[in-house]
Chains A and B, each alone.
Chain A
Amino acid sequence: MREVPLAIIGGGPAGICAAIEAAKYGVQSILFEESHSLGGQIYHRLPDSLRIIDQRQLGKDYVQGAQLLAELERYRDKFELRQDVLVWGIFPEKEIAFLHNGKTAMLKAQKLILAEGAYDRPMPFPGWTLPGAMTAGAALRLVKAEKVLPGERILLSGTGPLQLALAAWLVRGGATVVAVLEAGTLKSSWQYLPGIWGQWELLKDGLDYLREINRAKVPLLRGHAIVEAKGEKQVQKAIYAKVNRGGKPIAGTERNVEVDTIITGYGLVPSTRLSRLCGCLHKWNPYLGGWVPCLDDYMETTAPGIFAAGDCTGIEGAIVAQEEGRLAALRVCQQLGLITAEEAGRRYSAIFHKLRGLRKFEVALNQLFAIRQGWLAGAADDVIICRCEEVTAGEIRKVIAEGFTNLSEIKNLTRAGMGPCQGRICEPIITEIISLKTNQPVAETGFLSPRPPVKPLPFGSTVIYDSS
């Protein structure tokens, strides 16, 4: 089997920066990206056939992404890029199985950096499975990278500043944003001031978005949330209401609006399928978005030689992800003896210095816009929780009441989590349902252990044909 010194999985900000640093110090790396272009969810590239005349239609992230990709391009001959390639399994001894053009190949890596990224936290409510109800990430991608509006009359429900950014993008694109519902009340938000203090550039971004949606007269309603989506074959109406801290609608405050699109933005969940598969130890941290791998100061997981970087280690944004990617790669270089301890130490302390302020800011934001207990777990019994296998909240609660409080047991008994998304969507919800119903902390409920392939493969494609 072919051997490489370093494999990096995920071509977002963390993976790109890891590849850059590895290349700088002469570590041969191979960078795997599942989609057809680098940049990850935040730095989407635009197709060549789409030209942007108005710079406002590009945005700040695009410019940052372009700079990063230009930096990577300078090292183009010093690493191997495999785009459109799905890494579907990691086996003992860091053997990696990947799929390209319907065929699987394998290679062995001395060191591994996982940069899996994150995905939108699912929020179940009656009608959330209707076409026209989608996540903030899906909508952002459409409006930023495809320049297509997800709908015409749009309701946003969620928490946190990403909603403001999305609303501004939608308004800029010509959509009508009926309202932005912020489930948090932001009471006692002054508590988080120390973490936010000093990060003026990041704060200014948020204020700019706020100003833009104010100008467009989009109502921003604090302490409100989506209650129900209605429609025959797609979203036609939404009911929203004032909610209490636990996310329960307050009777008498419901409002009906005609909309064709409902977008939920309740923060992100770290993608940890591969780090779980590698047997790395994980811990539950609500302010980092859920289950995250346990890491040392240099991003190494509890599995020696396997590192993780970026949002898959906690939701801290693209700037932190870049520094983490660099940090992990530098550590790899040091372990492989390609960088002196002195040089490494100098680089580490510069990165640690940057990370301290940035992480404080992101964690303060995550605390300010924390997901409260009951938001995800509050769906009525007839609401579908597992979208793949069509399992309802009631079916899940029934087996919990029978004493099955472990995710794997619930999966076996109800099929929830057994479908092709492999529990990515329903696991965060079921976890909260168990926790609320049994009064045990989420940290105790455990998580589903994935088995390869981590994504469904076309029939016959696990046949391993070569090792290139």
Chain B
Amino acid sequence: MTNRRIEKGVERNNPFEIVVNGEKIPAYPGETIAAALLAAGKRTCRLTKIRKEPRGIYCGMGICMGCGMVVNGKPNTLVCQTVATPNCQVQTQIGVEDWEIRK
């Protein structure tokens, strides 16, 4: 996979790590969790409640609720609206309102 962060003409501060389902991936200061996930090629945010289908970033502006994940234990966190913090724990969520973490 090629680098999905645009580097030409852009400078960033040093990255830190966030933990996605136990796996460490880099994130840059100020970046949303969604951007860090997509840059790492990780696209599934949650599984739907009934069909258990994967869903990812769709509207990107916090209205479709498709990117709700469990962040630091808090379910339904919209990762497209949430800025990554060092070592934040991000987990795939099943369902939306009645939530459980994917084992």
**Which residues on A are within 8 Å of B, measured CB to CB?**
34-36, 41, 46-54, 56-57, 119-120, 129-135, 137-139, 141-143, 146-152, 173-174, 233-234, 387-388, 390, 419-421, 424-425, 456, 458
Docked complex Cα distance between A468 and B93 (Å): 35
Report if B43 contacts A (CB, 8 A).
yes
In B64-84, the 8 Å CB interface with A consists of 64-66, 68, 74, 76, 80-81, 83
In B1-49, the 8 Å CB interface with A consists of 1-2, 4-6, 8-13, 28-32, 34-35, 38-39, 43-45, 48-49
A50–B54 CB distance below 8 A: no
A148–B8 CB distance below 8 A: no
Docked complex Cα distance between A387 and B48 (Å): 9
User: Other CB < 8 Å A-B pairs besides A138-B80, A233-B54, 13 of them?
Assistant: A47-B31, A53-B10, A132-B43, A132-B56, A137-B59, A138-B58, A141-B60, A141-B61, A146-B35, A148-B6, A149-B6, A234-B44, A458-B76
Which chain B residue has the least Cβ–Cβ distance from A144? B6
Chain B interface size range = 35 or more
B10–A57 CB distance below 8 A: yes
A424–B64 CB distance below 8 A: yes
The 3 closest A-B pairs by CB, nearest first: A47-B30, A54-B9, A138-B60
Docked complex Cα distance between A133 and B10 (Å): 26
B65–A50 CB distance below 8 A: no
Contacts of B38 in A (CB 8 A): 142, 148-151
Task: Known A36-B83, A420-B65; judge A134-B9 contact (CB<8 A).
Answer: no
Contacts of A139 in B (CB 8 A): 60
Task: Known A138-B80, A146-B31, A152-B1; judge A119-B58 contact (CB<8 A).
Answer: no
How far does the Cβ of B52 sit from chain A's closest Cβ, in whole Å?
10
Which chain A residue has the least Cβ–Cβ distance from B80? A138
Contacts of A138 in B (CB 8 A): 57-61, 80
B11–A53 CB distance below 8 A: yes
B12–A49 CB distance below 8 A: yes
A419–B65 CB distance below 8 A: yes
Dominant secondary structure of chain A at its interface with chain B: loop
How far does the Cβ of A166 sit from chain B's closest Cβ, in whole Å?
12
Docked complex Cα distance between A126 and B27 (Å): 33
Contacts of B49 in A (CB 8 A): 390
B6–A234 CB distance below 8 A: no
A135: contacting residue among B55, B60, B96, CB under 8 A: B60
Which chain B residue has the least Cβ–Cβ distance from A176? B2
Docked complex Cα distance between A446 and B34 (Å): 35
Task: Known A54-B8, A421-B63; judge A49-B28 contact (CB<8 A).
Answer: yes
Which chain B residue has the least Cβ–Cβ distance from A35? B81
Contacts of B103 in A (CB 8 A): none
A420–B56 CB distance below 8 A: no
A52–B9 CB distance below 8 A: yes
Docked complex Cα distance between A302 and B23 (Å): 53
Docked complex Cα distance between A447 and B61 (Å): 22
Task: Known A148-B35, A234-B54, A390-B48; judge A137-B65 contact (CB<8 A).
Answer: no
A420: contacting residue among B10, B32, B35, B96, CB under 8 A: B96
Q: Jot down 30 A-B pairs with beta carbons below 8 A, ordered by A.
A: A47-B29, A48-B29, A49-B12, A49-B29, A50-B10, A50-B11, A50-B12, A50-B30, A52-B11, A57-B10, A129-B53, A129-B55, A131-B45, A131-B55, A131-B56, A137-B61, A142-B34, A142-B38, A146-B32, A146-B35, A149-B5, A150-B57, A151-B38, A152-B4, A233-B54, A387-B58, A388-B96, A390-B51, A420-B96, A421-B65
Contacts of A390 in B (CB 8 A): 48-51, 53
Contacts of A150 in B (CB 8 A): 4, 38, 57
How far does the Cβ of B53 sit from chain A's closest Cβ, in whole Å?
6
Contacts of B10 in A (CB 8 A): 50-54, 57, 147
Which chain A residue has the least Cβ–Cβ distance from B13? A49
Contacts of A133 in B (CB 8 A): 58
B43–A131 CB distance below 8 A: yes
A131: contacting residue among B54, B63, B76, CB under 8 A: B54
Contacts of B80 in A (CB 8 A): 138
B76: contacting residue among A130, A141, A425, A456, CB under 8 A: A456
B5: contacting residue among A57, A129, A147, CB under 8 A: A147
Docked complex Cα distance between A150 and B81 (Å): 16
Contacts of A130 in B (CB 8 A): 54, 56
How far does the Cβ of A265 sit from chain B's closest Cβ, in whole Å?
12
A119: contacting residue among B28, B34, B59, CB under 8 A: B59
